[in-house]
Amino acid sequence: MVEPLLGRLNHLFHASQFPFPFHARLPSPFINSEPPSHARKITNTDQDFSLILLRKTSPIALFTRILPNQILIKRMFFELTEEQLAVQQAARDFAQNVLKPGVIERDREMKFPKSEVRQMGEMGFMGMMVDPEYGGGGMDTLSYVLAMEEISKVDASSSVIMSVNNSLVCWGLQQYGSEEQKAKYLPKLATGEWIGSFCLSEPEAGSDATSQRTTAVDMGDHYLLNGTKNWITNGGTSSVHLVMAQTHPEKGHKGINCLIVETDWPGVVIGAKEDKLGIRASDTHTIMYTDVKVPKENRIGEDGFGFKFAMKTLEGGRIGIAAQALGIAGGAYELSLAYSKERAAFGKPISQHQAIAFKLADMATDIEAAKLLVYRAAWLKDQYMDYGTASAMAKLFASETAMKHTVEAVQIHGGYGYVKEYHVERLMRDAKITQIYEGTSEVQRIVISRNVLNGQLYIPIWNGKVVGMEV
C-alpha cells in the first residue's frame, strides 16, 4: 500500500518548488523522538526534500510542513492551546457583555452594529489571521473559528460582518495581494478602521459565478469598471470592495479579474439596504459601478486570476460560515438546555420528559459532530494542507445542523420560542442564511462529490496552489 503513495509523493515533490520538506505523520509513540529504525527515509538532494515514512503508516497519512532539519509531528489532539482558550473566552465575554444587550433591537430595526464593530476592531477580531506586520493578530484559523463561534451564539449579524472582513477580504489580500496592496489596505482593514466587502454575486451570477457580467475593460494604465453586484455584505459601510469583473469574455472564467475598489471613487453607487429574514442588522446592498476608473496596480494577481482568487478565498470563507452556523446551533442548544430545566409541565421540568431530553441529545450529538468537522477544516488550513473538501463538508453539515436544531429550539421553548425576547426565533431566522451564502448546500454537495469522485481529499498545498495539480 505504501509504495504507490511514495511514488505519488515523489511525483508531487518533483512537480513543485517546495521550499520545505514534508514528513509523513508518525504514530504517537514516536512523537518528539527520532524516527524508528524501520522508518524509510527518502531524500531528494536536488531540491532538498526529505520524507520519512513508516512502512506501516496508513496510506492516508497526513502531512505537515516542517522547517529544514526539524521533525515536527502532528497527532490527533483535541485540547485547545492556552492562547486559543483565551481567544474563546474573550469572544464569549464580548458577545455576552457587549453584543447581547442590544441584539433584539438591532435585529428588529435592521440597525448596523456600528459601535460594536468598532469595538471588535479594537479587540482584534476584525483581522485575526492578518500578519502583525500589517496590524493583524497573526492568529491561526482555529482561533478565528473559536471567536466566530462564540460571537455567533449571540449575534450572527455581527459575526457575518466579521467573517467577510477576516476570511474573504483580509485573507484574500494577504494571501494574493502585492506588497504595495497589503501595505496600503491591510492595516486599516485588520484594525476595523475600514471594513471590506467581497463582491462576486450578480443578479445573473449566483451559484454559477462564472457568468460574470460586470466588465473591467483594459484601458492601458487603468480598468474601466461597469456592472452591478448584489447581496453585498457590508455594502453600505465598507470602504474597500474586492470586485470580480470580466476582462476577456472570450476566455470565460479565465478572463475574470479581481480589482480593489475604494468606495468613495466616482461611479460607485450603493443601492438600498435589503430587508432580510435573518442577520437583519448586517448590511446587505446592491452596488452599481459606472465607468469606475481602477488603477492597474489595484488588480490582484496576474491578468485573469480573479476567478481562482474568488474560489480559493471562498474555500477559507466557508470555514468562517461553518463556524457561524456552529455558533448559531450552539447558542440555540445552550438556551434550550437551560430553559428545559426551568420550565415545568405535568409536575416536572420539561427536560425530564423523554421527548424533550431526546431532542437535546440529538442537538448535542450533531453539534459535536459539526464542531469536529469545522475545527478539522481550520486545522487543515493551518497545516497548509488542502482544505477545499473539508471546508465544504464543514459548511454543509454545520449549516444543516444549525437550521434543523434552531427549529427544535423554538419547539422546546413552546410559545415563548415564538417571541423575540427568548432569542431562539432570531437564531432560527439567522440559521437559514448559512445554507445559502458562500455556496448553497447544493453547491457544497457539488464540490464534495466532485472531489470525492476525483480522489482529491488530502492533497498538500503550498501558497494556495495544489501541488502538482491544476486547480
Q: Are 337 and 361 in contact (CB under 8 A)?
A: no
Contact stretch for ligand FAD (CB under 6 A) within 38-46, 198-206, 292-300, 388-396: 198-206
Q: How far apart are CA 369 and CA 46, in angstroms?
A: 44
Q: Contact between 238 and ligand FAD (CB under 6 A)?
A: no
Helix runs in 207-266, H state only: none
Helix, strand, or coil (residue 72): coil
Q: How many Cβ atoms from other residues are within 10 Å of residue 16's Cβ? A: 20
Q: How far apart are CA 110 and CA 385, in angstroms?
A: 39
Which residue in 140, 138, 127, 260 sits closest to 197, CA to CA? 260
Closer CB to ligand FAD, residue 204 or residue 297? 204
Helix, strand, or coil (residue 215): strand
Residue in the block written with cell 421540568? 349
Q: Contact between 232 and ligand FAD (CB under 6 A)?
A: yes
Closer CB to ligand FAD, residue 225 or residue 443? 443
Cα angle 372-160-183, degrees, rounded to a multiple of 5:
100
Q: How many Cβ atoms from other residues are within 10 Å of residue 454's Cβ? A: 11
Q: Contact between 200 and ligand FAD (CB under 6 A)?
A: yes
Residues 431-450 interacting with ligand FAD (rule: CB under 6 A) = 433, 436-438, 440, 442-443
Residue among 9, 146, 148, 199 that touches ligand FAD (CB under 6 A): 199
Indicate if 438 belongs to the active site. yes
Q: How far apart are CA 349 and CA 356, in angstroms?
A: 10
Q: Contact between 28 and ligand FAD (CB under 6 A)?
A: no
Residues 383-402 interacting with ligand FAD (rule: CB under 6 A) = none
Kindly give the pairing relationship between strand 196-199 and strand 240-246: parallel
Cell numbers for 219: 484601458
Task: Give min distance, CB of 449 to ligand FAD, in A.
Answer: 11
Q: How far apart are CA 73 and CA 78, in angstroms?
A: 15
Which of 116, 149, 408, 438 is the catalytic position?
438
Residue among 63, 185, 194, 231 that touches ligand FAD (CB under 6 A): 231
Helix, strand, or coil (residue 289): strand
Taking CB atoms, the residue at the shortest distance from ligand FAD is 206
Closer CB to ligand FAD, residue 61 or residue 110? 110
Q: Contact between 207 and ligand FAD (CB under 6 A)?
A: yes
Residue among 64, 143, 174, 284 that touches ligand FAD (CB under 6 A): 284
Q: Contact between 261 and ligand FAD (CB under 6 A)?
A: no
Closer CB to ligand FAD, residue 35 or residue 206? 206
Q: Are 267 and 289 in contact (CB under 8 A)?
A: yes
Q: What is the DSSP letter of 134?
A: G
Cβ-in-10-Å burial (0-12, 13-18, 19+) of 179 comes to: exposed
Q: Contact between 164 and ligand FAD (CB under 6 A)?
A: yes
DSSP H or E segment with residue 256 = strand 256-262
Kindly give the pairing relationship between strand 268-273 and strand 284-295: antiparallel
Contact stretch for ligand FAD (CB under 6 A) within 18-26, 47-55, 62-70, 193-201: 193-201
Task: Give min distance, CB of 282 to ligand FAD, in A.
Answer: 7
Task: Give min distance, CB of 387 to ligand FAD, in A.
Answer: 19
Residue in the block written with cell 502585492? 178
Q: Contact between 206 and ligand FAD (CB under 6 A)?
A: yes
Q: How far apart are CA 339 and CA 7, in angstroms?
A: 57
Contact stretch for ligand FAD (CB under 6 A) within 8-16, 99-107, 124-132, 276-284: 276-284
Contact stretch for ligand FAD (CB under 6 A) within 83-91, 129-137, 192-200, 336-344: 192-200
Q: Contact between 307 and ligand FAD (CB under 6 A)?
A: no
Q: Contact between 233 and ligand FAD (CB under 6 A)?
A: yes
Contact stretch for ligand FAD (CB under 6 A) within 231-239, 263-271, 389-397, 454-462: 231-239
Contact stretch for ligand FAD (CB under 6 A) within 134-142, 315-323, 368-376, 429-437: 429-437
Helix, strand, or coil (residue 308): helix
Which positions lie near ligand FAD, rule CB under 6 A? 164, 198-201, 206-207, 231-233, 276, 279, 284, 433, 436-438, 440, 442-443
Which residues does the annotation mark as catalytic? Answer: 438
